[in-house]
Structure 1
Amino acid sequence: MDLSQSQYLTGTSNTRTQEINSLFGRAKVTLAEQLNTTLGARVTRDTNKLLNGATVDNEVFAVELGLEKLVGDQIVSVRLDQNFRIATLDEQVTYPAPAFTATDTPIAPQRGNSIELGWKSGATQTTIYYLENNDEIFYDPASFINTTVDKTKRYGASYSRDLSVISSIKASITGSYTYAKFDDGAYDGSHVPSTSGYLGSLKLKKTISDQWSIDMLSRFQSAQYSINDWSNTFGRRNAYLFTNLNVNHAGKLFSSKLTVGNLFGKKYDSYHLRSGGNLFRTPAEPRSLVFEISASL
C-alpha cells in the first residue's frame, strides 16, 4: 500500500493539489512441478483539486497473470498484464499561448493491455510483446498543452546476453526492436513520434587487477520522428551511436572513477521538435571529463 500527496504552485494564491492512494498485492503460486504462476492486482484512486476549486477524481484497476515453466536449464514464460498511468500535477497545469496563464487541463488516466512471451537460458534472455494503450498521454510543444491520443499499439522484441570474451574481459549485449503506431483518431496509421525502432548497447569490462578495471559502454539509437510530428510530415532524424569510457579504482579506504563521456565527440540531439515548419533542437552533451572520488569510513 502506498500514499503520495503533492502540490503545484502557480505563482499566484491558487494551489493545485493531488492525492494518490494505492493498494496492491502480488503472489507466486506453484501449480505443478517446475510450473509457477504469478497473480497480481493494483487499485489506485487519485483526487485532484483544480485551480478553480473544483475536484476531479479518478479510480483505476489493473491485474497481472503470469506463467513460468522450467524446461531443463531453460525458462519459458508468458504474462498478461494491464497497466495505467496517472497524469502528474505538472502535466495537468499548462500555460497555453498567447496569454501563458496557468490553466486547468484535467487528463484522464492512461490505460493499457499487453501480452509478453519470454525465454531465458543462463545469461541469455529474449522477449516478444504486444501492447495497446488507450488515452496515451502526450505533450504538444507547439500548443504548450498535454493531451491524450485515443489509441496506440506497440509490438517488438528484446534480447540480452552476458558472455566472457576472455578470462579478464566480460561483455554485455542488448538489442531491441519496437514498432509503434497510432491506431485511431486523426493520426491513425502514423508512427508514434520520439520512438526509435531499434536500440542497442555493448558493454565491455576489462579487469586489470583486484583494484583496477576499465569499462566501455556504447549505445545505438535509430532515427525517430520529432516529438510533436504526429503526422510524420518531416521525416525521421537523430540516429546516433555514442560511447562512454570509465576507469575505475577500488581501494580499501578510497575509491575513484574517471569518466570520459561521449568519447568520440558524437553530435546528436537530446531533444528536437517541429513548430511552424522549423526544427528546434537541444544538442546533447559534448565530450566531457569527470573525476569522482569516494571514501569508506
Structure 2
Amino acid sequence: MKKILLSSLLFLSSLSFSNTDFLNDSITLELKDSIITAEKFETPIRDTTKNVYIINKENIQNSGATNIVELLKTIPSIFIGSGYTNEGIIDFRGQGETSKSNVLILVDGISQNSIDMSGPDLSIIDINNIERIEVIPSSGVVYGDKAVGGVINIITSNNKNNIKLDVGSYGYSNSALNTSNTFGIFTINNNFSKTFKEGYREHSNYNKENFGTDIIININSNNKLTFTYDYNKSFYNYAGSLTKAQVENNRTDSISGKGSTFNRKNNYSLNYNYESNKLKLENKVSSYNKYSEGWSKINTAYFSNNLKIKYSFSNFNIINGIDFSEASSKTNSTNKIEKNQIGMFSLINYSILDNLIINGGYRNETTKLDYFTGKEKKYNQNLFSAGINYLYSDTGNVYLSFEQNYRTPTTDEYQYAIYNWATYEITGYGYKENLNPQKSTTTEIGHKEFFANTYINTTIFNTITTNEIFYNPSTFSNENIDGTTLRNGIEFSTKTNIKNIILSQSYTYLIAKINDGQYKNKLIPWVPKNRYNASINFKLNKLNFELDYNFVGKMYSISDWNNQYGKINSYSVVNFTSNYKFNNINTYFGIKNLTNTKYYDYVTYGSSYYPAEEKSYYIGINYEF
C-alpha cells in the first residue's frame, strides 16, 4: 500500500506544474467521445450514468500488447489472469473466480460467453484487427444474463491496408496482412494473421491463425448492409500448476496438470443499419460453430438475432430492443445440451432541463435449458434501472445510477454427473433443483471534470448480491451463498497533458466480502483490495515512448473461501514501449516486465501456482499502403 501512496503522491505532485498554455486536443476529446456499448447505440460518454472506459486505436498501438489479456490490464477495476489453460480470465469489479460467468464479453456486440462454466476463449481473438474496446459496468437491463460485473465490447475494423511483423522473447512471432478496397457502393475488407510462441514455461507453446472478410454495401445515405465472416484456429499446450517448492526450484517447469487444446471456430454475421434524423434501427443476425478438443471433444453452435430501434425527439429518446439466442453444446458427439434465451428491453432518456437528464430502463428475459436426458429448466427475470445526470458545466458532470443484474446457473452448474468411483464411469446425472439464479443491485455515484489540462474521473459504487452462485470446495458442489455478498469500491483516474507529455493514473479500492452463511465476514477470493496504474507517454517529433507501472495488491487464492491459506503477495510490473513513425512505416520496440518481477498469473487453493512471465522483449514493423 505504501508503494501505491508514494506513486500517487509523486504523480499528483507533477500536476501542480500544469499550465493551459501547454494544452492540446488529446484530452478534450475525452469529453466528446462516444460509446456504443452503454445503450447499443452511439452515446456521448458525458450522457451516460456509469463509469465507462475506452481503449482506442492509439492506446492499443502504444501498449505493446500482443493479446486481449495484456491490453485490458490498465483498466480500473479489471483484474486479469491467464487461467490454467491460458485462455484468459477477466474479472470486473470483484467477481473473483466466477468472473467467467459474471462478465459479458462481446466481439462487435456478439456474445463470446459459453453456456457452461468454461467461459469465453480470449486467446483466439485477433488483436491486429481491434479498433477499440469499450468497458462499461453493471449492464443487466441492456444485455441481460451474465452482465453482472459489466460488459466488455471488443470492436473490430478491417478497413486498412497494411503488413505487420512482430518477433519477441520466448519464441514469439506474429505476422498480419490487411487489405481494403472500395468499388462503388461496395467495400471489401480482408485480414489474415498468424501467431506462434514457444512459451515461457515448458509445455506452454501455442500457435493460431485468423482469417476474416467484410463485405459492406452502402445502399444509400440511410441504409447499410454488412456481411462478416471470421475463421479462427488455435492449438496450445498448457503447463499446469506447480507447488511453492517446485516454483522455487524451477518456475518454468511443467510437472502436473499439463494438457493441450485445439480450437476451430467459424463466425458469421449479417448486420442491417438504417438511420434518419429521428430514427435509428439495427438488426444483427449472427452465428458461429466451434470445435474444441482437449480432455473431451466438444461441438458448440450459437445463433442470435438482435433487433434495436431508437426514436429521438426534442428532449427525450426511447430505445427498444429484442435479443434472441440459442446455443448448444455436444460433448463426444452424444450428450447435447441447449440454452435458449429471449429478452426484451426498453430505455428512456429524458432531458428535464438542458443540463439535467434522467433515465430509466426495464428488461424481461426468459431462459430455458434442455438436456439430453429430457430434463428441462426455465428461468424468468425482470430487471430495472434508473439514473440522473447533472451537467453542471461545459466540462463537468455528476451522476447517480441504480441497476439490477442477474445470471442464471450455467448448464454444468445445474447438472452434475453421478460416478461409479470404482470404475470412474458415469452412471447417471442429477440436477441441483435448489440452485437459484443470482440477482444483484448496483448503485453508482460518479463525477467527471476537465480542470486546467487534467481530466478527472471519480466513482463510488456498491453492489449487493443475493444467492450468489459459487463452487463450494467443502461440499464439492455448485451452490448459492446464503444471504448476501457485498462489493464496495472507489475508482479514481486522471489524465494530464503537458505539451508533448501525457500522464495517466488510475486507482481502485475494492472490498468484496460475504455477509451471511457458512463464510460470513470472509473476503471473496481472488479479488485484490488495491490496484494502481500509472503511465507517462512522451512524444518527440516522430518518436513516441511510454512507461507503464502496474500494482496489484494482496488477495486470497482461488477457492480459499475460508481465507485460511494466507494472502498472495502483492506485486508491481513495469513495461516500456517505443515506436518511430516515418511516412507509412511504423517501427516499435518494447520491454515487458522491465524489472523482472516474479509473480503469479493464477493461484488455486493456496497451493497450486501458475507463474507469470519474467522480462521479455519484442520488436516489430508495420507498413501501411
Task: Identify the TM-score tier after normalising by the shorter chain.
Answer: 0.7 to 0.9
Letter in 2 for 1:80: F
Which structure has more helix as a fraction of its residues? 2
Q: Deviations over 1:190-218 (max 9, x none)?
A: 11111111111002111122x43111222
Tell me if the contact between 1:256 and 1:294 (Cα under 8 Å) persists in the aligned partners: yes
Residues 1:196 and 2:528 are matched in the alignment:
yes
Q: Deviations over 1:97-138 (max 9, x none)?
A: 864859566553221012111111111011111110112233
Q: How far 1:92 sits from its partner (Å)? A: 5.0
Q: Deviations over 1:61-97 (max 9, x none)?
A: 2111000112234311111111112344465566788
Q: Secondary structure at the match of 2:468?
A: strand
Tell me if the contact between 1:125 and 1:159 (Cα under 8 Å) persists in the aligned partners: yes
Task: Please list every run of 5 or more consecutive structure 1 residues that lacks an aligned counterpart in the other structure.
Answer: none
Q: Secondary structure at the match of 2:518?
A: helix
Q: Tell me the distance in 1 between the aligned counterparts of 2:357 and 2:407.
A: 28
Q: How far 1:225 sits from its partner (Å)? A: 0.7
Q: Tell me the distance in 2 between the aligned counterparts of 1:265 and 1:184.
A: 41
Moved more, 64-73 or 176-185: 64-73
Q: Tell me the distance in 1 between the aligned counterparts of 2:376 and 2:480.
A: 20
Aligned to 1:114, which of 438, 442, 454? 442
Q: Tell me the distance in 2 between the aligned counterparts of 1:219 and 1:74.
A: 28
Change (3 A) 1:133 1:100: farther
Tell me if the contact between 1:8 and 1:90 (Cα under 8 Å) persists in the aligned partners: no
Identity %: 24
Change (3 A) 1:194 1:105: farther
Which structure has more strand as a fraction of its residues? 1
Partner of 2:570: 239
Partner of 2:408: 86
Q: Tell me the distance in 2 between the aligned counterparts of 1:292 and 1:144.
A: 48
Aligned to 2:481, which of 130, 149, 165? 149
Change (3 A) 1:104 1:213: farther
Mapping of 1:26-105 within 5 angstroms?
Answer: 26-72=347-393, 73-89=395-411, 92=414, 99=424, 101=426
Q: Secondary structure at the match of 2:525?
A: coil
Q: Secondary structure at the match of 1:186?
A: helix
Partner of 1:208: 540
Q: Tell me the distance in 2 between the aligned counterparts of 1:287 and 1:95.
A: 43
Letter in 2 for 1:27: I
Change (3 A) 1:7 1:140: farther
Tell me if the contact between 1:119 and 1:127 (Cα under 8 Å) persists in the aligned partners: yes
Q: Tell me the distance in 2 between the aligned counterparts of 1:190 and 1:68.
A: 35
Normalised to the residue count of structure 2, the TM-score between the two structures is 0.44
Change (3 A) 1:100 1:141: farther
Letter in 1 for 2:598: K
Q: Tell me the distance in 1 between the aligned counterparts of 2:549 and 2:346.
A: 38
Change (3 A) 1:94 1:267: farther
Q: Secondary structure at the match of 2:391?
A: strand
Count of aligned positions: 292
Partner of 2:187: none
Q: Tell me the distance in 2 between the aligned counterparts of 1:243 and 1:88.
A: 37
Q: Tell me the distance in 1 between the aligned counterparts of 2:536 and 2:415.
A: 44
Q: Deviations over 1:33-66 (max 9, x none)?
A: 4111121222222211124221111112211100
Q: Tell me the distance in 1 between the aligned counterparts of 2:593 and 2:431.
A: 39
Partner of 1:289: 617
Q: Tell me the distance in 1 between the aligned counterparts of 2:487 and 2:462.
A: 6
Letter in 2 for 1:238: N
Change (3 A) 1:258 1:140: farther
Letter in 1 for 2:520: D
Q: Secondary structure at the match of 1:71?
A: coil
Partner of 2:494: 161
Q: Tell me the distance in 2 between the aligned counterparts of 1:56 and 1:251.
A: 60
Change (3 A) 1:88 1:204: farther
Letter in 2 for 1:86: T
Letter in 1 for 2:591: V
Residues 1:228 and 2:566 are matched in the alignment:
no
Residues 1:136 and 2:468 are matched in the alignment:
yes
Structure 1 vs Structure 2 CA RMSD: 2.6
Q: How far 1:19 sits from its partner (Å)? A: 1.6
Q: How far 1:13 sits from its partner (Å)? A: 1.2
Tell me if the contact between 1:96 and 1:144 (Cα under 8 Å) persists in the aligned partners: no
Q: Tell me the distance in 2 between the aligned counterparts of 1:245 and 1:146.
A: 42
Q: Deviations over 1:202-239 (max 9, x none)?
A: 02111122x43111222111100111110111221131
Q: Tell me the distance in 2 between the aligned counterparts of 1:271 and 1:130.
A: 26
Q: Deviations over 1:132-177 (max 9, x none)?
A: 011223345787754432320111211011012x422101110011
Normalised to the residue count of structure 1, the TM-score between the two structures is 0.88
